[in-house]
């Protein structure tokens, strides 16, 4: 068996893994990275964040051309959808970016292994490469490493009773590859992924029905913003059934049949199961070396990201916290910087979450629900995009900005935005929280005119009841 040795071996080449590998290499370590996929980038780049955003952008342009450009004086008389070209554009973007990750590995001298990793000891990993087509035997490589970092991400969760066939009833991965626009797409789950992909296919012409177990959409986000989003999505044509328990789903002839507790079965031609994600740790051999898991099946780590086995670390979707690509990247950098320099830190209060619908929804820090539950006294300022000049010029006036500040210290505790380009606007709020800024700091900072960012400043002014334009 061929043997290799590194200072650090990273298992997983997604946003947590490849970023950690590159940073460790920058700091002088000999680094290897193993992934079972032939291309780098993990779920986010291959079948998650990037391809879904490509489809969201393309479908939004189509939707605007079909229904929103007349107000701009642009009239299109013969509009057609070329779904094959749209899917090709999405795939081309993914291919370019995955090659970019491989280029970064080469630039930073990170050794890339393709195969399934199995941890056999605290400092040894066996990588089983693709099986030989003739013999059926896998080519195994033994990799020794002083430190091992697990960053294998997550996989879509399934729902008991729903029979997945990897096509007509499938996950977000399948919904990125539909060969034709579904007549009726049933989405199970009103979280980030379900709403984004439901929006894609609604814009392209599908009837979309979203089934959600809870009596609200976007569980965990600020409820006031979620309610506002629900009203907007309904106006866009998405149908919602909230407080709905799906008991089964299966293919019957030409239909997908979804059974709902206490209601008549629902029929559609495709079903997207979007009920969350689970840590991807199967086959890593964690039990054999004594790595502890928590009550949710995630890897237990301490504040330094170290597992119960000395020398083995974990970051991203396999540990506690929100399953977000940027959270994984921050943890990967913090983990290796702590190992090499002695210091690494992640401020979990300043990690934004974004739903890339139209309008976008973005959030960072505490929600108003969190503050009420914790009994924290706060002041609130809001500002509507309908009163923002740049939003009116863009033709996207829906939504608002909410700033929550401590009633005593005025420190910004949370910012929540639903509106145009909210995902970009939230970055300023994340920096404000990270640096313990006050709503007064945001209000006193000069924001260029006319820009969407002025809405955030006005919301900060509104905390002290002195918004200028509302």
Residues labelled catalytic: 449
For residue 273, what are the CA distances in angstroms to 95, 143, 186, 239?
Answer: 26, 38, 8, 16
Could you tell me if 310 and 297 are in contact, meaning their C-beta atoms sit under 8 angstroms apart?
no
Taking residue 232's Cβ as centre, other Cβ atoms within 10 Å add up to 17
CA 362 to chain centre: 12
Helices (H) and strands (E) in the chain, counts: 14, 22
> Which residue is it, tokens 């939004």?
60
DSSP 423-469: HHHHHHHHHHHHTT-BHHHHHHS---SS-THHHHHHHHHHHTT--S-
Can you give the length of the chain in residues?
Answer: 470
Could you tell me if 151 and 315 are in contact, meaning their C-beta atoms sit under 8 angstroms apart?
yes
C-alpha to C-alpha distance for 368 and 347, rounded to whole angstroms: 20
Q: Is the dihedral of CA 145, 151, 154, 155 positive or negative?
A: negative
CA 226 to chain centre: 17
Instruction: Give which of 385, 389, 384 is closest to 450, Cα–Cα.
Output: 389
C-alpha to C-alpha distance for 256 and 209, rounded to whole angstroms: 13
C-alpha to C-alpha distance for 394 and 417, rounded to whole angstroms: 17
The overall longest dimension of the chain from CA atoms, in Å, is: 75
223: buried, middle or exposed (CB in 10 Å: 19+, 13-18, 0-12)? middle
Q: Is the dihedral of CA 136, 137, 138, 139 positive or negative?
A: negative
Sequence-distant (≥ 6) Cβ neighbours of residue 373 within 8 angstroms: none
Question: Which tokens go with 51?
Answer: 């391809």
> Which residue is it, tokens 């391809």?
51
C-alpha to C-alpha distance for 286 and 312, rounded to whole angstroms: 10
Rounded to 5 degrees, φ, ψ at 376 are -90, 125
Sequence-distant (≥ 6) Cβ neighbours of residue 401 within 8 angstroms: 382, 383, 385, 415, 416, 417, 419, 425, 455, 456, 458, 459
For residue 160, what are the CA distances in angstroms to 163, 246, 298, 457?
Answer: 8, 9, 20, 46
């Amino acid at each position: 068996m061929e043997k290799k040795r590194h200072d650090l071996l990273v298992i997983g080449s997604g946003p947590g893994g490849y970023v950690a590998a590159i940073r460790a290499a920058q700091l002088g370590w000999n680094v290897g990275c193993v992934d079972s996929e032939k291309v780098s980038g993990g779920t986010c780049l291959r079948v998650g964040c990037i391809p879904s955003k490509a489809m969201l952008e393309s479908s939004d342009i189509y939707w605007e051309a079909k229904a929103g450009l007349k107000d701009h004086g642009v009239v299109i008389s013969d509009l057609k959808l070329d779904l094959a070209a749209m899917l090709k554009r999405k795939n081309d973007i993914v291919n370019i970016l995955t090659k970019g990750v491989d280029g970064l590995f080469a630039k930073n001298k990170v050794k890339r292994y393709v195969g399934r990793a199995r941890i056999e000891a605290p400092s040894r990993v066996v990588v089983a490469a693709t099986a030989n087509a003739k013999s059926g035997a896998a080519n195994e490589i033994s990799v020794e490493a002083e430190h091992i970092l697990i960053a294998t991400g997550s996989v879509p969760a399934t729902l008991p009773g729903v029979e997945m066939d990897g096509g007509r009833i499938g996950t977000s991965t399948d919904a990125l590859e539909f060969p034709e626009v579904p007549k009726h797409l049933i989405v199970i789950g009103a979280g980030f992924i379900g709403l984004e992909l439901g929006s894609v296919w609604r814009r392209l012409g599908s009837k979309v029905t979203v089934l959600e177990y809870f009596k609200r959409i976007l569980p965990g986000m600020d409820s006031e913003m979620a309610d506002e989003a629900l009203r907007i999505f309904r106006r866009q044509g998405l149908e919602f059934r909230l407080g709905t328990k799906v008991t089964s789903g299966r293919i019957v002839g030409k239909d997908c049949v979804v059974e709902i507790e206490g209601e008549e079965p629902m029929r559609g031609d495709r079903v997207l199961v979007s009920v969350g994600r689970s840590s991807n740790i199967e086959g890593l051999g964690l039990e054999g070396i004594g790595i502890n898991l928590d009550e949710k099946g995630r890897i237990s780590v301490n504040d330094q990201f170290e597992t119960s086995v000395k020398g083995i670390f974990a970051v991203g979707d396999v540990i506690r916290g929100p399953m977000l690509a940027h959270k994984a990247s921050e943890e990967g950098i913090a983990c290796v910087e702590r190992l090499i320099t002695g210091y690494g830190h992640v401020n979990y209060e300043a990690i934004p979450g974004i739903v890339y619908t139209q309008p976008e929804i973005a959030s960072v820090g505490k929600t108003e629900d969190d503050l009420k539950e914790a009994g924290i006294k706060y002041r609130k300022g809001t500002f509507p995009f309908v009163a923002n000049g740049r939003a009116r010029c863009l033709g996207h006036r829906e939504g608002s900005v909410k700033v929550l500040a401590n009633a005593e210290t005025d420190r910004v505790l949370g910012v929540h935005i639903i509106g145009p380009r909210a995902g970009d606007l939230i970055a300023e709020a994340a920096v404000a929280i990270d640096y313990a800024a006050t709503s007064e700091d945001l209000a006193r900072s000069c924001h260029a005119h006319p820009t969407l960012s002025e809405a955030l400043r006005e919301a900060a002014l509104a905390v002290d009841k002195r918004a200028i334009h509302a």
